[in-house]
Structure 1
Amino acid sequence: MFRTALRNVLAHKARLLMTVLAVMLGVAFVSGTLVFTNTISNAFQNSSAKGFDQVDVAVTPESQEDKGNTVGKTPELTQALLDKSAEVPGAASAIGVVDGFTAIADKDGKLIGGGFQSQGGNYWGDKDPRYPLAEGSAPRGANQVAIDSETAERAGYEVGDTVRLSIDGPVLKPTVVGIFTTDDGNVAAGGSLALFDTATAQKLFGKTGTYDQIDVKAAAGTSQAALKSALDDALPKDLIETTTGEQLADDQAEMISSQLSGLRQGLLVFAGIALFVGTFIIANTFTMLVAQRTKELALLRAVGASRRQVTRSVLIEAFVVGTVAAVAGLVAGIGIGAGLRELMGTFDATIPAGPLVITPGTVLTALAVGILITMPAAWLPGRRAAKIPPVAAMSSLHAQATAKSLVLRNTLGALFSGAGVAVVLAATTMDGSSGQAPMGLGAVLLIIGVFILTPLLSRPLIAAASPVLRIFGVSGKLARQNSVRNPRRTAATASALMIGLTLITGMTVMADSLQQGIDKMASSALRADYVVSMANGNELSPDVDRKLRALDDVTASSPLRNAPSRIDGETEYLTGVNGSVIGELTDLPLDGGAFRVGGTQVVVDDDTAKSHGWRAGSSFTAHYEDGKAQRLTVAGVYEGNEMIQGIMLDNGTLTPHLTDPTDMRVMVKTADGTSEATKDALEKALGSNPAIKVQDKKDLSNEIAQMFTLILNMVYGLLAMAVIVAVLGVINTLAMSVFERSQEIGMLRAIGLDRKGIKRMVRLESLVISLFGGVLGIGLGVFFGWAAGELLASRMATYELVLPWARMGVFLLLAATVGVLAALWPARRAARLAPLTGG
């Protein structure tokens, strides 16, 4: 039986090639994902470890949040603490570290790096062991800077060039005096690093005479643990915390791994989708292969083979196919992993250099996926064939499904579909977080139910295409009859395409609806023409608001100045605004009271008011960060949103209690409204600063939606794999259908249907099956997009359903294109069959 199974594999090369490709694509997707994420994780972890080579123990200020206090002042690391750290037993040296956001512009004035990855710091002395100089010398004075070699190469800077950069507002134009190398993970990931001498860095970052961290190097023979213990004994415990370099590297590596786990899980979800689609194709393929060999299997039964032996022979074939496909998929996956890594560079997301990582777990996963998907897919048709009596099989009396089996299938499909719809509808009534798991479960149940019901659905839906098919005469009529002749085969083929289009349509409906909600939120919440903020989300200098207010074209402006406070024993953030004009700059519906901000009168968003039990007229005591308290009165309660929320009070009331006032953003209204000229004027007034963004409402909504759009584009790319698998499935089904009907096609040729008519018949059959799958997929996708949108609507009041009719038309056209392309080879093969003989 083993030799027989191997001969059967070799005897059906063309048909089994489709199965191998379907399995291989799924395996390649999974293994490529694992190779890619393991490679990135390893590279960043190695880079993190190198970044702490010069740190045996790091001394940092004690976190105030650990004490449950976010209002109090953070302890400072003074020069005295640095000197004391360098003198403890076992310490070889100590370096004071100062760092902060530093935006470097390229020669076109555009920001280098990604905002959060644009960093600055101090170069320690004449030769800093952390940053070996590749060219030039150490920076000295306010007009000199050293930059990392990666940034210098990307922007084309050399020693002696003048570079534009910004710390917290003003644009500086120092000279590049040095270019250094670094293993800093942010730089490796595409960011930038600018270094000043220590005194200049302390002044620029507002740390005069103090440091953000003290890095202590251990003397020869002293362990990191011993040095940490010595520092703990020598330094004041209530002011500082100490951490070993090994722990810092481990913490950073764990954080990076945690960030990548979301990417890995997301990619694996879509790998699973491709496999889910491929499973139908594999099962369909083996069903048809076994059906075509029914007489052969019946002959084996007649000469003494048992049912178990027949089933085992089919499983052996599946094992061989799965193993070959898994090995091929693993090789392809390694190539995909390497390609994805290179592709990251095109999205300005460079990753550290390092080897391609292929773990034993990746290899075992690839083999397990290939074999464990294929064998169960082959087991059911093999078992079904083994149960057919030899005489019945040899006389082909087994071909039609029994009424009992059809009733059972339709009953199961109805139960699964009904349960899926019920669970999805129930999930839409829950809040966003608690409804996600039920929504996913309901979606899976509904897709399985519709898949089971597709043979039943195929007849009426394909019948609806009859008027169009009649235009093509005999070929069209035959195509319709062939499409419904074997509903199970048609259903399995259409389902593969259905699942891909369900996901694509659902994501598109959500994306368009979300974009509409974000646009509506930006336009309804703001009356301001522009919002000014830092590129990395950090605070703006108050000078920005003063410069903007001085412009003739600016009619009103207000900074949004955040500050922590203690209210009713809890930490609440206050938002300081220009109370006299905030009503002109915002458009926030009131739930009660009046929108009045000034003196001790404040306005509060509805969520905050509800959590404290406040309403218009309520009073509360706010404890500011300087330790003083003040009684404030709620003048009104407004409907907050993702852009504007919290407790608003006048800056004249808040600012006297702040040690270092800074603004999160500044809202601006101009006389001429929004225009490119007005935007340029605002940017020039701020010194064409690369660190500062000037955005209108459209810019804001695009920025908010940017992450979702990026995810959506990635989803489209990943789902393309599922569509490719579906195309293979359609080709596979048609090729086998042509093989099954070779004598029939030969007879049609003999009675006058020419080769063009045969080709047209096969193409129309493929087109009908593909459009059937497309209609089901788009219908389910709209339903899932609506349901998922209901979850989003619970968090976003401005969310509203948008049906992208144009793109859904494109998706239906895509389904039709899949059908036409998939039919090219089977149609050509059918047309070449000889009359009568079918050979």
Structure 2
Amino acid sequence: MFRTALRNVLAHKARLLMTVLAVLLGVAFVSGTLVFTNTISDAFQKSSAKGFDHVDVAIRPEYRESEGDRLAEQPKLTRELLEKAAGVPGAASAVGVVDGFTALAGKDGGPAVDGFQSRGGNYWGEEDPRYPLARGRAPKGAGEVAIDAETAKRTGYGIGDTVRLSVDGPVLEPTVTGIFTTDDGNVAAGGSLTLFDTATAQKLFHKEGAYDEIDVRAASGTSQSALRASLDEVVPEDVGSTVTGRQLADEQAEAIASSMEGMRTGLLVFAGIALFVGTFIIANTFTMLVAQRTKELALMRAVGASRRQVTRSVLVEALVVGAVAAVAGLAAGIGIGAGMRSLMGSFAATLPDGPLVVTPGTVVAALAVGVLVTVLAVWLPGRRAAKIPPVAAMSSVHAAATTRSLVLRNTLGALLSAAGTAVVLYATTLDGTSGQAPMGLGAVLLVIGVFVLTPLLSRPLVAAAAPVLRVFGVAGGLARRNSVRNPRRTAATASALMIGLTLITGMTVLAGSLQRSIDKMATAALKADYVVSMANYNTLSPEVAEKLGETEGVTAVSPLRNAPARIDGATEYLTGVDGAAIGELTDLAVEDGAFEVGGARVVVDDATAEDHGWRAGSRFTVAYEDGAKQRLTVAGVYEGNEMIRGIMLDTAVLAPHQSDPSDMQVMVKTAGGASAAAEDRLEKALGNNPGILVQDKKDVSEGIAQMFTLMLNMLYGLLAMAVIVAVLGVVNTLAMSVFERSQEIGMLRAIGLDRRGVKRMVRLESLVISLFGGVLGVGLGVFFGWAAGQLVGGGMATYELVLPWGRMAVFLLLAAVVGVLAALWPARRAARLDMLAAIKAE
């Protein structure tokens, strides 16, 4: 039986090629993902580990929990503690570390790098062991900086150049005095690092007299653990904790691995989708191969082969095919992993140097996935073949599915679909977090249920295309009959395309609906023409609001200033605003009382008011961060949203209690409304700051939309894999169908159907099957998009369902294109059949 199985594989090489390709693509995606993420993770971990070469023990501040009405004062790592650490037995030196966000501008005036990757820190003394100087000298005073060599290379800055940068708003223009090298993983990943002397860094990052961390080097012959024990004796437990350099490297490695896990999981999900779609092709192929060999299998049963042996022979074929596809997929995956790394480099995402990492786990996973998916997909066709009685198989009585099997299938499909729909509808009644698992379970059940029901659904939906197919005469009529001749085969072929389009449509509906709600929210909640914030959404200096208020054409300005406070024994965040201007800058629906901010009168969003049981006229006591208490009155309750919410009070009341006030955003209204000239005036007033964003309502909305656009583009690109596999499935089905119907096609040719008519018949059949899958996919996608929107957008007052009719039409057109392209080779093959040889074929 084993030799027979191998001969069958070799005898059907061409027919199994599509199956091999389907498995190969899925395995390549899996192994490519693992190779890529392992390579990047390993490179970052090794690069980060180098960054801790100069740290034997680090002292980090200990966070304190607030209790009662007073906010806990967070401990600081002081100069005194630094000197004590440097003097403990076994310590060679100690360095105080200060860091924070620093936006560095390039020579063109724009940011040298984007967002969070632009960092700043302190250069310790004359020769900081962390940052060896390649050229120049250490920075001294507020007018000097040092920049990393990679940034200098990218921007073209050199020693003596004046650079423009910003930490929290005001523009600084220091001189570059040094260029240094670093093993910092942030720089290796394409970021920038700007260093000031320690006193300047502490002042700029609002950490006067304090350090974020103290790094201690061990003297020769002193171990990290011994040094740590010495430091533990001088570091108060309520001030800081110690950790060895080895532990820091391990923590960094774990953090990097964790950050890569999200990317890996996302990519593997799409690899799983491609493999799931591929199972339909595999099962379809082997079902047809087994059907074509029915008499052969029956003869084997007649001469003594058992059912188990027949099943085993089919599974051996699958094992061989799966092993070949898995090995080829692994090789392709290694190439994909290397290509993805190079592609990231071409997008200016600089990555640390390191070898391509192919772990034993990757090899095992690729081979296991390829073999298991193939064998599992073939198990049912093999089992079905073994159950056919030899006499029935000889006479082909087995060909038609029994009424009992169809009833059982349709009943099972209906139950799964109903259960999936019910679970999805139930999930829409839950909140975003608790509803995710039920939503996923319901979606899986519903997709499986529809797949099981697809043979039943194929007849009415294909019949709906009959009027259009009649236009094509005899070829159209034959195409319609052929597409429903074997409903199970049609279902398996259409389902591959259905799954891909379900995901694409669902995500498009959800993204479009969320984008519309954000647009409405921005329009409804804001009367301000502009919102000003840091590029990384860090805090702004109060100086920014002052400068904007003095700008020509500005009629109203208000900061949004977050400040922690204690209310009823719990920490709450107050939002400081300009009480006189906030009414001109926002348009928030008032549910109770009046929107009045000033003195001891505040306004509260509806959610916070409900949590505390407040209404207009309610009074409560707030404990500010300096410990002072004040009795405040709720003047009004407004309808909060994702953009504006919280307890609003006047900054004139809040500022005296803040040691270091800073703003999250500044809202601005101009006399002539939003315009290019007004935006230009605001940017000039802020010194064309590289770290500040000046956005109108459209920019705010589009900024949020970029996340959805990026997500959709990634989704479209990744799901292209599933569509490619689906195309292979249609090609495979049509090719096998043409082979099975060789005699029939020969008869049609003999009675007058020309080659063009044969080609048209096969193409129309492919088009009908693909559009059938497309309609099911778009329909399911709309339902899942609506359900996910109810789950995600349920808490957004402005959420509404948006059906992207244009894109859905494009998706159906894509399904039609898939059908046309998939039919090219099978149609050509059918048209070239020799009619006499085909008629004589069995």
- Structure 2 unaligned segments of length 5 or more: list them: none
> In the alignment, which residue of structure 1 is the partner of 2:437?
437
What SS does the corresponding residue of 1:695 show, helix, strand or coil?
A: strand
The yes-or-no answer on 1:162 pairing with 2:184 is no
821-830 or 346-355, which deviates more: 346-355
1:455 corresponds to: 455
Q: CA deviation at 1:348?
A: 4.4
Counterpart for residue 33 of structure 2: 33
Which SS does the other structure have where 1:652 is aligned?
helix
Question: Aligned-pair distance for 1:387?
Answer: 1.9
Q: Which one is further off, 351-360 or 738-747? A: 351-360
| Alpha-carbon contact 1:22-1:728 (below 8 Å) kept | yes
Equivalent-residue separation in structure 2 for 1:306 and 1:748 (angstroms) = 40
Matched residue count: 839
Q: Which residue of 1 aligns with 2:744?
A: 744
Q: Deviations over 1:710-744 (max 9, x none)?
A: 22221111111111110000000000000001111
2:197 aligned residue: 197
Q: Which of 190-199 and 60-69 deviates more?
A: 60-69
Cα deviations across residues 635-685 of structure 1 (Å, max 9, x unaligned)? 111111111111100111111111111111110000111111111110010
Mapped partners of 2:208, 2:629: distance in 1? 29
Deviates more, 1:782-791 or 1:342-351: 342-351
Q: Does 1:670 align with 2:691?
A: no
CA distance in 2, matches of 1:430, 1:169: 42
Q: 1:490 to 1:237 in 2, by over 3 A?
A: closer
Q: Which residue of 1 aligns with 2:86?
A: 86
- The one-letter code of the counterpart of 1:751 is I
The structural deviation recorded for 1:67 is 7.5
2:539 counterpart SS class: coil
Q: Deviations over 1:434-468 (max 9, x none)?
A: 11111111111111111111111111111111111
Q: 2:731 is matched with which residue?
A: 731
Are the equivalent residues in 2 in contact too, given 1:559–1:665 (CA < 8 A)? yes
SS at match of 2:350: coil
Matched residue, 2:180: 180
Q: Is the 8 A contact 1:455 1:487 kept in 2?
A: yes
Pairs within 5 Å for 1:410-429: 410-429=410-429
Supply the distance in 2 between the matched residues of 1:24 and 1:7 (Cα, whole angstroms).
22
Aligned to 1:485: 485
Contact kept? 2:70, 2:623, Cα under 8 Å: no
Equivalent runs, 1:700-739 vs 2, <5 Å: 700-739=700-739
Conservation of the 8 A alpha-carbon contact between 2:206 and 2:660: no
Matched residues in 1 for 2:797 and 2:53: separation?
Answer: 50
Measure the CA separation in 2 of the matches of 1:74 and 1:645.
Answer: 27
Q: CA deviation at 1:310?
A: 1.3
Counterpart of 1:723, as a letter, is V
Amino acid in the other structure paired with 2:811 = F
Q: What is the letter of the counterpart of residue 218 of structure 1? A: A
SS at match of 2:573: strand
The equivalent of 1:367 in structure 2 is: 367
Cα distance, 1:827 vs structure 2 = 0.6
In the TM superposition, residue 203 of structure 1 has moved relative to its aligned partner by: 3.1
- In structure 1, the residue matched to 2:207 is 207
Secondary structure, counterpart of 2:398 in structure 1: coil
Letter in 2 for 1:469: L
Q: Deviation string for 1:58-90 (max 9, x for gaps)?
A: 123332248899934333333222222111100
Q: Does 1:625 align with 2:620?
A: no
TM-fit CA distance, 1:832: 0.8
Instruction: Give me the whole-angstrom Cα distance separating, in 1, the residues matched to 2:165 and 2:405.
Output: 74
Q: Is contact 1:168-1:541 (8 Å) kept?
A: yes
* Corresponding residue of 1:96: 96
Paired with 2:377 and 2:202, the residues of 1 have a C-alpha distance of: 66
Structure 1 residue 303 displacement after superposition: 2.6
Please give the secondary structure, in 2, of the residue aligned with 1:71: coil
Partner of 1:296: 296
**1:3-18 alignment to 2 at 5 Å?**
3-18=3-18
Report how far residue 539 of structure 1 moved: 1.2
Q: What secondary structure is seen at the aligned counterpart in 2 of 1:558? A: strand
Tell me the alpha carbon deviations over residues 91-122 of structure 1, each in whole angstroms, 9 at most, x when there is no partner.
00011222221111111111122322211111
Aligned ranges 1:451-600 → 2 under 5 Å: 451-600=451-600
Partner Cα distance (2:667, 2:493) in 1: 56
Q: 1:70 to 1:10 in 2, by over 3 A?
A: farther
Give CA deviations for 1:204-252 in whole Å, capped at 9, x if unaligned: 3333443222211011111212112211212333323222222222222
Q: In structure 1, what residue type is equivalent to 2:333?
A: G
- After TM superposition, the structure 1 stretch with the greater mean CA deviation from structure 2, 15-24 or 175-184, is 175-184
2:338 aligned residue = 338
- Alignment partner, residue 262 of structure 1: 262
CA distance in 1, matches of 2:754, 2:636: 81
| Deviations 1:510-562, CA, capped at 9 Å, x for gaps | 01001001111111111100011111222111111111111120000001111
Corresponding position of 1:682: 682
**Mapping of residues 379-398 of structure 1, within 5 Å:** 379-398=379-398
Stretch of structure 1 that moved more, 578-587 or 78-87: 78-87
The alpha carbon displacement at 1:469 in A equals 0.9
Partner of 1:350: 350
Tell me if the contact between 1:64 and 1:70 (Cα under 8 Å) persists in the aligned partners. no
Instruction: State the Cα distance separating 1:47 from its structure 2 match.
Output: 2.1
TM-score (norm 2): 0.97
Give how far 1:182 is off. Answer: 1.0
Distance change >3 Å, CA 642–CA 93, structure 1 → 2? same
Q: After superposing the two structures, state which structure 1 stretch, 683-692 or 308-317, moved more.
A: 308-317
CA displacement at 1:167 relative to structure 2: 1.7
Distance verdict in 2 for CA 1:519–1:348, change over 3 Å: farther
Out of 42-51 and 819-828, give the one that drifted further.
Answer: 42-51
Secondary structure at 1:836 match in 2? helix
Aligned to 1:118: 118
Is the 2:66–2:72 Cα contact (8 Å) retained in structure 1? no
Q: CA deviation at 1:812?
A: 0.2
Distance 1:717 1:70 in 2: 52
Measured in 1, the distance between the counterparts of 2:254 and 2:795 equals: 31
In the alignment, the residues of structure 2 paired with residue 131 and residue 69 of structure 1 have an alpha-carbon distance, to the nearest angstrom, of 44
Contact 2:551 2:681 in 1 (8 A): no
| Worse overlay, 75-84 or 780-789 | 75-84
| C-alpha distance after superposition, 1:581-628 (max 9, x if no partner) | 101101111121110100000011111111111111111111111111
1:320 maps to 320
Partner of 1:756: 756
In structure 2, C-alpha distance between the alignment counterparts of 1:189 and 1:459, rounded to whole Å: 55
Q: Give the 3-state SS of the residue equivalent to 2:749 in structure 1.
A: helix
Preserved contact between residue 171 and residue 689 of structure 1 (Cα < 8 Å): yes
- C-alpha contact (below 8 Å) 1:70/1:571 kept by paired residues: no
- For the residues of structure 2 that align with 1:809 and 1:346, how far apart are their CA atoms? 34
Q: Aligned residue for 2:651?
A: 651
CA distances 1:251-286 after superposition (whole Å, capped 9, x unpaired): 222222222222222222222111111111111111
> AA paired with 2:185?
G
Q: Which residue of 2 aligns with 1:642?
A: 642
Output the amino acid matched with 1:57.
V
| 1:749 and 1:836 in contact (8 A); partners too | no
Aligned residues of 1:26 and 1:329 also touching (Cα < 8 A)? yes
Offset of residue 766 of structure 1: 0.3
Shift of 1:341: 2.0
2:217 corresponds to? 217
| Secondary structure of the structure 2 residue equivalent to 1:73 | coil
Is contact 1:749–1:755 with CA below 8 Å preserved after alignment? yes
Q: Who is 2:699 aligned against?
A: 699
Distance 2:72 2:703 in 1: 34
Q: What is the SS of the residue equivalent to 2:233?
A: helix
Partner AA of 1:232 in structure 2: D
Partner amino acid for 1:5?
A: A
Identical-pair percentage: 77
Q: Give the stretch that moved more between structures: 134-143 or 559-568.
A: 134-143
Displacement of 1:346 = 4.6
Distance 1:67 1:706 in 2: 41
Could you give the per-residue CA deviations for residues 664-709 of structure 1, whole angstroms, max 9, x where no partner exists?
1110000111111111110010000001110111111222233232
Q: How does 1:61-80 map to 2 (within 5 A)?
A: 61-65=61-65, 71-80=71-80
1:784 alignment partner AA: F
Do the aligned partners of 2:69 and 2:568 also contact (CA within 8 Å) in 1?
no
| Deviation string, structure 1 residues 328-363 (Cα, Å, up to 9, x no partner) | 111111112222222223554433222222111111
